[in-house]
Amino acid sequence: MPICLLLRKVLFRHHTRGWMTFSFLDFFSTVQPKVATVGIDFGCKNSRVAIVDSLVPEVVPSETGCSIPSYVTPIDPKDSDGYGWALQQLDRLGKCVAVGELAKRRLSRQPSDVVFNIKKLAGKQFDDHNVQEMRKRVHFSIVEGERGEAWVEICRMKFSPVEIASVIFARLKDIILMHQFHHEFKVVISVPIFFNQQQRKEIMLAGHKAGLEILQIIDEPIAAALSSTTIKEGTIVVFDMGAGSYNVSILGVSGTKIEIKTQFGNPCVGGDQFDDILLDYSVAQIRKFYSVDVCGDKYGMMLLAEAVEQAKVALSSQHEVTVSLPFIISSAKCPGDPNISISRAEFENLGVNLVKQIRDKCQTLLAEANISSNDIDEVILTGGMTRVPMIQKIIFDVFGKHQATKVNHEEAVVIGSAIQACLIVEHQRQISEDIIPLSIGIESEGIFVRVIPRHSTIPTKKTVKIPAWRGYGESLPINVYLGEHVLVQHNVFLGVVELINNQRSCQGSIYFELTFEVDKDYVVKVGGRNFGDQHEAAYDLVKPLKVFPVREIVMCKQSVDKAVKSALLDWTMHGIDFRARLIRQATYIVSTLSDVLSARKDEVPKDLFEEAAKSLTNLLMTLDGDAHVLNEKMLAAESAKLKVLQWMPPSESPCRDYSDYED
């Protein structure tokens, strides 16, 4: 493809996306009091929140990352270390509590007052076997509540799991408020599939106490399937393993309907148990090599537990890690730089019993569903532990498939929860007479570019500027669509506007101004003008104005619901837009680097030429690969191109102009 054509395409996309011209007064007149549709993944160790914006769900980051640790501890505001925004009020305690990273950092200072894993105590009785086992592993006090429930003790006061969970939900709510100007929340919260009614009720109560309007409690496998499945019909397996538990579910997918065929969950086996076996192994190694028993040192054991958890994460990408011990073993007991090494093979050998238990349960589940691995169409992995190679091997051995899509293991559940919240709200929403419920836009290389976004008040008018790239008297067809999907083929085609260039000027220095107007009768009028660098006057291009009556389409509740569902359930298709732009940029770099190498083949040193040629080959080989890798190869190729362009013999002064090859 000629370089000039590639450049024109890039500029066309740039202008159609970036040159939406309307005043701030126009903007604020179209802003509607919106309901935030939110998904919450309330985890044992980490919690996440996602919001759906313009039918695209996204995880909302906190100040410290995409998740907040589910840790709570009382704190004096003076000791917040600049984390004042992380404080919440725990009413009965009469003082502030820190939630998230600040609370987790204080684990080393006051471990008995830092509460975590509160999700495991929700709806449980104090004499429950799992609660008693948990008491042995945590530093904070788990006590008996007023009616025999499992509560926690902070500052000599007893608190229910509902009270502790509510301040975590309040913190998540604050994160939304800091990133979105919404004050009304519609929330879906995900819970493990094995949660009973009492556990679900307590999670709901905690959310209400935090001021959230909860639409639904959704099972985590359903949420993961909503966000991650790429099939419209068939059988999928969702394997979810986090810090506190794991569950595996076999689901049937039929269109937009997802049902659970069979499932199994174990609230006692998760990442924590793998941490424990690594911790026991590390204690034994320290005793063996340094003759030091750290079991009696609570502070040392806590530091060691954090170190082995980090080692477990590292072993997913490395074959061996070293755990440094200087802060765990005092220098008096062990001079020098004490450390222990843990290999992936040793880790897998230590976890063989847990792995066998998980494998057996997965095989039993297949038998209960009366299906074989050949009947499985897709496998979805969620939870941080599913990054561990030995867990992935179990899934492949039993179900015969690797994960089909590049899903973020930690974010699939929260994204699915947000999608479910949006689907519920959109289904309940009545179509208002003063807003347009579906977006109006134009096509750019198969991608839908919004001009008038959905829920804009009507009447309304918006303008978009487009580079002409046409000679005098030539026309540029612009396809107009109605809908929400990122791909125009899934939206409603309204018609074509033919723009004719009536300016005599260099191509690229003139542009079309396309105006979309929607009146109170839902009639879309499209007009256009032509601007040039030598002319202040603008000329009407469309006489009479193109008129698209869309009332019957946008006022049909069924059509709107269908368009919204299509866009939401295919939300991963939004990555196509980014991918398409990346491929175009890479193709342009390939073309320019090829031209540069051809022009200077006999001039530059052989090693420099070969280096640039290798960069070109590497880029060509990754065009269909991972976006992150492709971006790296693009940068390398661009750097190689500049080196070739800038090279000159030491005895020569610059005499040739290679600016034609520049981007």
Residue 156 vs residue 557, higher pLDDT:
156
Quick one: 602 and 653 in the same domain?
A: yes
Q: State mean pLDDT over 75-80.
A: 64
- Is residue 126 over pLDDT 90? yes
In the predicted structure, residue 38 carries a pLDDT above the cut 90? yes
The H or E element that residue 57 is part of is strand 56-59
Query: Domain holding 540: CATH number?
Result: 2.60.34.10
Assess contact for 637 and 593: CB atoms under 8 A. Answer: yes
Q: Residue 415 falls within a domain, yes or no?
A: no
Predicted confidence at residue 35, as pLDDT, reads 73
Q: What percent of the chain lies above the pLDDT cut of 70?
A: 76
357 and 245 within one domain: yes
pLDDT, residue 583, reads: 74
State the pLDDT at residue 87: 65
Q: What global pTM score does this model have?
A: 0.69
Residue 92: inside a domain, yes or no? yes
Which two three-digit tokens encode residue 453?
């976004």
Residue 330 has pLDDT above 90, yes or no: no
Helices 220-228, 412-428: axis angle to 10 degrees equals 90
**Residue predicted with more confidence, 658 or 393:** 393
Residue 143: the pLDDT is 93
Task: Give the mean pLDDT of 610-620.
Answer: 86
570 part of a folded domain? no
Which of 533, 562, 591 is where one domain is finished? 562
The CATH number of the domain where 596 resides is what? 1.20.1270.10
pLDDT beyond 50 at 33: no
Whether residues 22 and 106 fall in one domain: no
* pLDDT for 80: 54
The more confidently predicted of residues 134 and 548 is 134
Would you say residue 149 has pLDDT above 90? Answer: yes
b/e sequence 495-518, b meaning 16+ C-beta within 10 Å: eebebbbbbebeeeebbbbbbbbb
Asked if residue 419 is part of any domain, the answer here is no
Max mean pLDDT range (79-83, 215-219, 283-287): 215-219
Residue bearing the bigger pLDDT, 195 or 457: 195
Q: Rounded mean pLDDT of 43-63?
A: 85
Domain count, the chain: 5
Same domain, 164 and 281: no
Residue 660 or 636, more confident:
636
pLDDT the model gives residue 274: 92
Q: Are residues 115 and 169 in the same domain?
A: yes
> 85-122 pLDDT, tens per residue?
556 666 666 567 888 888 888 887 788 889 999 999 99
Boundary residue ending a domain (505, 529, 562)? 562
pLDDT tens figures, 232-288: 788 999 999 988 889 899 998 887 678 888 888 888 888 889 999 999 998 888 888
Question: What gap in Å lies between CA 565 and CA 231, rounded to an integer?
Answer: 15
Phi, psi of 10, rounded to the nearest 5 degrees? -60, -45
**Are residues 122 and 147 both part of a single domain?**
yes
The two three-digit tokens of residue 314, written as one number = 């590292």
Residue 150 resides in a domain: yes
Q: How confident is the model at residue 165 (pLDDT cuts 50, 70, 90)?
A: very high
> What pLDDT, in 10s, does the model give residues 518-538?
887 778 888 777 665 443 333
Residue 145 backbone phi and psi in degrees, to 5: -85, -170
Q: Is the pLDDT of residue 157 over 90?
A: no
**Stretch 297-325: mean pLDDT:** 85
Look up the CATH number of the domain holding residue 385: 3.30.420.40
SS3 382: strand
For residue 151, pLDDT over 90 is answered with yes
Mean pLDDT of 21-47: 61
What backbone torsions phi and psi does residue 152 show, to the nearest 5 degrees? -120, 155
Mean per-residue pLDDT, 456-470: 77
What confidence score (pLDDT) does residue 27 get? 31
The residue that leads in pLDDT, 13 or 127, is 127
Question: Is 420 a member of any domain?
Answer: no
129 pLDDT above the threshold of 70: yes
- Mean pLDDT on 206-230: 89
Share in percent of the chain as helix, strand, coil (round to 5): 45, 25, 30
Mean pLDDT of 540-563: 60
Interval 367-388: pLDDT, tens = 888 888 899 988 989 888 988 9
Take residue 310 and report the two structure tokens written for it.
Answer: 């980090």
Q: Are 17 and 45 within one domain?
A: no
The answer on 150 and 41 residing in a single domain is yes
Looking at the fold, whether 464 and 324 belong to one and the same domain comes out as: no
Q: How many helical (H) and strand (E) elements, i.e. helices and strands, does the chain have? A: 18, 30
Same domain, yes or no, for 43 and 165?
Answer: yes
Residue 146, helix vs strand vs coil: coil
**CATH number of the domain to which 289 belongs:** 3.90.640.10
| Confidence (pLDDT) at 10 | 36
User: Where does the pLDDT of residue 507 fall: very low under 50, low under 70, confident under 90, or very high at 90 and above?
Assistant: very low
Give the angle subtended at the CA of 447 by the CAs of 566 and 462, to the nearest 5°: 95
Q: What is the pLDDT of residue 650?
A: 67
Residue 424 gets the label, from left (phi > 0), alpha (psi -120 to 50) or beta, of alpha
Q: Band the pLDDT of 66: cuts 50, 70, 90.
A: confident
pLDDT at 20: 33
Pick from 62, 64, 67, 61: which is nearest to 45 by CA?
Answer: 67
Look at residue 422 and tell me if it is in a domain.
no
Residues 392 and 323 in one domain: no
Q: Is the pLDDT of residue 645 over 90?
A: no
pLDDT score of 206: 94
Which residues lie closer than 8 Å to 368 by C-beta, 6 or more apart? 262
Strand segments (E) across 220-310: 233-241, 246-254, 257-266
Give the pLDDT confidence score for residue 5 in this predicted structure: 36
Give the per-residue pLDDT at 329.
65
Per DSSP, what are the bridge partners of residue 258?
A: 253
Q: Do residues 248 and 362 share a domain? A: yes
| 642: pLDDT strictly greater than 90 | no
What pLDDT, on a 0 to 100 scale, did the predictor assign at position 331?
A: 45
Q: Are 77 and 112 in contact (CB under 8 A)?
A: no
Instruction: Decide if 326 is inside a domain.
Output: yes
**Mean of the per-residue pLDDT values for the chain?**
77
Band of residue 124 on the pLDDT scale cut at 50, 70, 90: very high
Domain ranges, residue 479? 3-31+429-562
